[in-house]
């Protein structure tokens, strides 16, 4: 279902991810409990990601303290990272998923950058989130940008960055499972219309495209960045499952049916590009949220999670066609996804 938001003039506009960045925010991994039994390779995966990003834009890296910074510097040097392109911030975090707790950068009506500080409660699943929810204020102080805390009906709004995706021209993708179900109690009492008004006011959204459910194994209950992503105005890639016996098959087909009937904020019928799913990845009896849709768009480069799967090459080819002016790079994510997230979950762009 798609809806057109009705609101007064928006206060802000959230640019699309492919618009120019000043930098990419990352939080260095340190919470071993997010990768039980698999933590040792994770810092090296992060170093590989920094190595790819720093050739295209600055990397703004959160570390807990000076001791952690010294360790990270050694790891990055071993991976041929030019540390002149990395800026370290001593900002304590609980975990690495800065897409969900970091500030969303938007432009106000005068075109000036503003950071939006949405409330974060660790998906109503974990107790250790108080450091994470303080990150936007600390970041705003460090980079000297104004900070705004979105509210509705007098209450702060809980919203994770991975739950939305925008085209920069007034259209937003999200899921009913994430925002409208009662499973995670993000914002009790808020309706579909309330969310649409919030998105209109704070993100400049004129049209919300509501999908149904997210993928199996998603710890966040339906984040759209594992499911469907804008790759250009009017153009969306959507994860699809070819195996009718897989639990993802029916929900993803239903989302495909929805998207094919939708138009964006400018009245364009969406071009929907199917993106395959890898074979299920199960570790310690748990289905993991492995999806090629969790890619990250940097300046001139797209980083795509890969899973040692026969579909890796096909997914990389599809995204290369979607981004003909970008270098599309696969990042091995079989260990990373054990933390229940991959590349998009761990990054947050700071617009230029």
Q: What residues have CB less than 8 Å from 86, skipping those under 6 apart? A: 50, 54, 58, 59, 61, 76
Classify the C-alpha dihedral 87-96-41-320 as positive or negative: negative
How many angstroms separate the CA atoms of 62 and 104, rounded? 16
Cβ neighbours of residue 35 under 8 Å, at least 6 residues apart?
Answer: 29, 42, 335, 338, 339
Closest CA to 14 of 115, 159, 142: 115
Instruction: Using DSSP, state whether 26 is helix, strand or coil.
Output: strand
**Could you give phi then psi for residue 74, rounded to 5 degrees?**
-65, -45
Query: CB count, 10 Å around CB of 72?
Result: 23
| Residue 295, token pair as written in the block | 């890619």
Instruction: Please count the CA atoms within 13 angstroms of the CA of 29 that sit on its side-chain side.
Output: 25
- The answer to whether residues 20 and 352 touch, using CB atoms and an 8 Å cutoff, is yes
Query: CA-CA distance, 121 to 129, in Å (whole number)?
Result: 6
Q: What letter would DSSP give residue 41?
A: T
Positive or negative: CA dihedral 278, 281, 286, 288: negative
Cα–Cα distance list, 258 to 1, 10, 321 (Å): 7, 27, 24
178 is catalytic: no
Catalytic site residue from 200, 227, 304, 345 = 345
What is the C-alpha separation between 352 and 21, in angstroms, rounded?
Answer: 5
Using CA atoms, how far residue 138 sits from 23, 26, 65, 102, 170, in Å, is 16, 14, 14, 10, 29
DSSP-based three-state secondary structure for 178: helix
Query: How many Å is the maximal CA-CA distance in the chain?
Result: 53
Residue numbers annotated as active site: 345
């Amino acid at each position: 279902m798609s809806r057109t938001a009705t609101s007064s003039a928006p206060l802000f506009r959230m640019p699309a991810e492919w618009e120019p960045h000043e930098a990419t925010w990352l939080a260095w991994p340190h919470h071993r409990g997010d990768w039980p039994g698999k933590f040792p390779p994770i810092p090296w995966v992060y170093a590989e990601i920094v190595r790819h990003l720093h050739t295209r834009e600055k990397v703004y890296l959160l570390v807990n303290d000076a001791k952690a910074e010294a360790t990270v510097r050694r790891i990055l040097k071993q991976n041929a990272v030019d540390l002149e392109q990395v800026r370290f911030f001593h900002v304590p975090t609980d975990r690495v998923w800065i897409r969900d707790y970091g500030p969303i950068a938007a432009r106000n009506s005068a075109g000036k950058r503003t950071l939006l500080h949405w409330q974060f409660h660790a998906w109503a699943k974990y107790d250790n989130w108080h450091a994470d929810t303080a990150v936007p204020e600390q970041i705003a102080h460090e980079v000297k940008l104004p900070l705004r805390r979105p509210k509705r009906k007098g209450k702060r709004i809980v919203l994770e960055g991975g739950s939305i995706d925008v085209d920069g021209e007034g259209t937003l993708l999200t899921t009913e499972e994430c925002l409208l179900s009662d499973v995670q109690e993000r914002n009790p009492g808020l309706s579909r219309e309330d969310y649409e008004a919030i998105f209109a006011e704070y993100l400049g959204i004129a049209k919300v495209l509501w999908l149904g459910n997210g993928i199996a194994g998603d710890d966040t209950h339906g984040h759209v960045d594992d499911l469907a992503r804008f790759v250009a105005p009017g153009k969306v890639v959507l994860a699809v499952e070819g195996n009718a016996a897989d639990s993802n098959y029916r929900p993803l087909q239903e989302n495909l049916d929805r998207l094919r009937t939708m138009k964006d904020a400018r009245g364009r019928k969406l071009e929907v590009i199917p993106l395959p799913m890898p074979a299920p990845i199960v570790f310690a009896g748990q289905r993991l949220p492995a999806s090629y849709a969790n890619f990250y768009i940097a300046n001139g480069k797209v980083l795509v999670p890969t899973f040692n799967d026969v579909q890796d090459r096909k997914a990389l080819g599809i995204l290369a066609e979607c981004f003909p002016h970008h270098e599309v790079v696969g990042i091995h994510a079989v260990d990373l996804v054990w933390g229940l997230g991959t590349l998009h979950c761990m990054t947050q762009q700071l617009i230029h």
